[in-house]
Structure 1
């Protein structure tokens, strides 16, 4: 178990976004429910979703899977993305999204999420993206009122910069910040992670396996969101396979899988870090969870840093 602010979670969580149809190909409701229930059974009890995933359908799936088991999990969801109105931003799926995080929208957003999830509270409620038209402290102030009512236990920010974290944390303590972080996206190390360490805020990396790259399961991406990901273009993908190939050799040497190496590396970065890898299959989920049992010594960590330094990947990151 690990701690994010006041929240105690499993050391590796489960990102439910992979269950949205079209993200990584098709995923039936039956398959999604099986995987979600297996996650809880296997100990990945920190479940992450968002009201924007499938326009609320992902929250409904999570709610169905957790029916009668709500107290076994630490449940996180997000709000702020809208499908009409708001200011256009570039999403990490190479699509434009719109954000509307005005304080007056917070209550309705959370109450709608709670209905879809079939619960009276979430353990961690994130702002999905800071709204460029609204000071983040105003948004967090409105979110904090719902913490006071017991509808959310803790608050967090996603995809926020260090200054926004500082401003929000002064209004209400943040339990966690969620951002992209992996062996090929190490940008948070420059400014964000030092601020989180100073303030005692936990960190939740999304896309901890580089959208599947470090799981070694990248074949045809034309049918999912990675078709628009710069690092998965034919030229960049070939370059990245060559650049990070020594990690596969190191994993073989350690008798673990590349995915377990990538997740174990993350877990060794700090104690209050909980990655949320996504998968649609229970067997891959079990593989991911075994990364928590992997110990990497200082020499091995130095070898990984030499193979995968910041800025090594070809192509831009998701954000």
Structure 2
């Protein structure tokens, strides 16, 4: 006799919808407002992607602007700044992945090993709070610390060292960007890993203690393997966003003196779209960035499924 699941699998799409409506009517009705919001604010604006294939004029609109095919993409690939901004985007995303991704995992493991509950709560709160600080405030703090009259240069002056123009020297930009990113997001990002740790069966730790396993061995043989699905899922998403470097902090931190390492795709789109008002060209660059992100996401998921038997789909 066929099971319910087998019967449902043989239904048509319309029959499946009617069956789902009959069983989960209240949940489907509750999801309607969310679906409307997603459609209006996530999918409807995607129509604007068409401007990437136009010589878009703000006054003529999409219907009146001339269609030019892939000319905007050709202009971008032939742009003298192309290799610089693509290289900077990949390097910032890669360094961010190498340093910012493992940081919350390490923090979650350290917090989990804390015995005293008050200290544990204090560390969680202290590392979690910076996430709610505005990017503008964070950059302002950094500029106060690393300016000519900041505390860092005061310390250098105390040891008779020459002052350093941190925000005007290319060699310091990436370190300051990634370091501030870790400080701001490490506590918030560790929440998912802590939730994964709390779901581990405590009997596994008890059995390991009876077998004489140290705390260090318990981390490597119980905690980390149990966190593996969460780590892999977040890693795939992180790889997919490797070229989606946010422009807000970079825009506040960089200057023409640091364009050689700080100018990325998103800041270039901002300058072309807002200052040059070249909307079709900036849309083409943004579309190129999105396509590369999708390719990275699909590639990361494919290799994860092939070699680790874990993936998003």
TM-score by length of 1: 0.21
More strand by share: 1
Q: Give the TM-score, by structure 2 length.
A: 0.22
Whichever of the two has the greater Rg, that structure is 2
Higher relative contact order (CA 8 A, sep 6+): 2
Query: Which of the two has greater helix per residue?
Result: 2
